[in-house]
Amino acid sequence: MPDLHMLLIPLVLLSGLEQVAMGAQIISKVGCQEKCGNVSVPYPFGIGDSCSIDAQFNLTCNHSFSPPKLFLPHGNLVVLDISPYGELRTLVWNAWDCYDEYGNRFNFTAWTTLARFTFSDTRNKFTAIGCDTVAYIIGTKGQTYTSGCISLCSDITHVVNGSCAGMGCCQTSIPKGLMKYEVEVYSFDKHSKVWKFNPCSYAFLTEEGLYNFSSTDLQTVTTATQSRVVLDWAVGNETCEEAKRNLTTYACHENSYCYSSKNGRPGYLCNCSDGYQGNPYLPQGCQGMSQFLLHGFFY
């Protein structure tokens, strides 16, 4: 009977090599900064000249913060993380509409504009909080539209924690291709009938599943909140079929395949083929285990 320990050694070795291989993957162009603070920057994104696929993917690492913060180009949107599968997370401002006990109004209208990427229609929800609240989201770039929701309640004991069905909290979807929006929030009656437990209304776009409504939010008075949203990104302005006609500019390299963007705008994404891992946007970025063993260990 074979020794069980001898059978386990190759498996343990292989597992260890796989972990080393994953840790040894190169995500950025040679000579380019791979991280800004705690955020990894995979190509086609980059920091600095010649480190990204084009100017719209050229990010800024601001070292005046501790730790440094990563920003999108042409604006002040901070990058929280970048997924190689066409998603990026950032922070946007919330709109608010508050009243004092005399009916005086204090409000803020929020707006956000993207130069190239779009707000994900599948990963974000437009959300409003309040018991005397009507909120609008108005898109004016990439997709022109107006939508919104109404949230009403007369007593804080009537609201249901965790529910955004229209009593204290409401939600609605956004369309594909949205690049710029403005959020406005209003009151029907200056919160006069609900002011003791709900002096403010809030409205914001946020990543779906991230916000969990609580009745205590109705009592909160804050005018400087931000929400996390998901952006969709894609390279080029063509479909996969069109991009493949020009191999000089085609972004998907060896051992990878192309798939079209679904964010409502032209463009495509790359992914490593089955059995390979790495960054498909880099030359020789997708590597198989046999290649890693050959070049990483047995040389």
Cα 43 to its chain centre, rounded Å, is 17
pTM: 0.87
C-beta of residue 47 within 8 angstroms of C-beta of residue 33: yes
d(CA 85, CA 200): 38
Angle, helices 4-23/289-296, rounded to nearest 10 degrees? 90
Q: Give Dmax over CA atoms of the chain in angstroms.
A: 87
The residues, ordered by sequence, that sit 6+ positions from 17 with a Cβ below 8 Å of its Cβ are 289, 292, 293, 297
Cα 17 to its chain centre, rounded Å, is 32
At 290 the pLDDT is: 60
Report strand pairing: 277-278 vs 286-287: antiparallel
Q: pLDDT under 50 in the chain at which residues?
A: 1-23, 292, 294-299
d(CA 149, CA 258): 38
